[in-house]
A and B are shown apart, each in its own frame.
Chain A
């Protein structure tokens, strides 16, 4: 087990290196640089700035310098937020995103599993149709529409929660639901179809022939097997949720990390683009590792080699 984890972590190194290299090359290929402005900088001043950030050096040298810093855990200075390093920016914003993302994940799992299990168990009933209606709606409605809707109803109309900002526990509720409902719908549909598939397997027929009650069949046997696909998607989903969402952070003014996936690129803030991409890649690797470990817990047939 320990050996397995260690080997997987070692594998993460070339993965992250590949991500870093690809991102580095691609972002430099995009036209436009970090210091292009509506009010164009005099060439001498631009030269001063580019010298400060080594942007005047050949591409290979810049790449070498970046990797050298990366080995020391130094993600470099932000070009946009002067005087702050990318490490600072991530340290300020990632905890917020993790917190919001974890709550959204919790909502997604609880709602998604409950609705999916109910639908799968009572397929083709009114209950199934209602919950699948909401699941389809949840997937189809973009989160900015959902966010606006939640603000309108729960903030404007009923004044239960603040419309935005990050002041206290009440601030977290609306963005967490806006972020978590779409994955909840996804999990619900996945759980339902997985249960339906399992229900027609031989072992279920055997269980029925033995006279086991339907609830026991469902909870003791079917669910255990049906849950595997949900666990599989959980890894990347968790990584996505905890690194934040541009849209949700904008609508609700949440000081999270998600916005940088967009704004760092529009600002051509190269070190910040690299920083958030690498954090995301690292989290995906870790989440997938956790998922693999989890498989062995729920399914003894799966062995770690």
Chain B
């Protein structure tokens, strides 16, 4: 379990609980439930958590797989400061937000899921992880730095010692090589 990155899982878990919270709160607001104030709170919380959790942070290797359209909001999320950066803060905030949701049946499930997400964030925080916005630096793996050769058509390009490109036909190249 040495390479475990809890934050990645916590991110998916809280995002899923935000969906559940939004669905539950919408059901709570459909008119037949009494405590609709909690449903309004749950809806706002769900949208807020969705907003905070949507952009994926960089992992330990400095790579990420961006969600679609996450560039649009990652700057706003990083502007929230410690809430975005520090996972202890996220844990506390989510615990506080999840508490009131547990007093109404439609938002109860969302609240419980958010609790679990918060606990996974606590594990991430204890593990010493923190959120880094995944937009400034383009993730570059070792593989992408060492490009592969293009397919040879009629001529084949080599780079000589002075970094000048030299064109050789395939047969010429074979002769030089063998």
Asked if A pairs with B, the answer is no
Interface positions of A (Cβ within 8 A of B): none
Interface positions of B (Cβ within 8 A of A): none
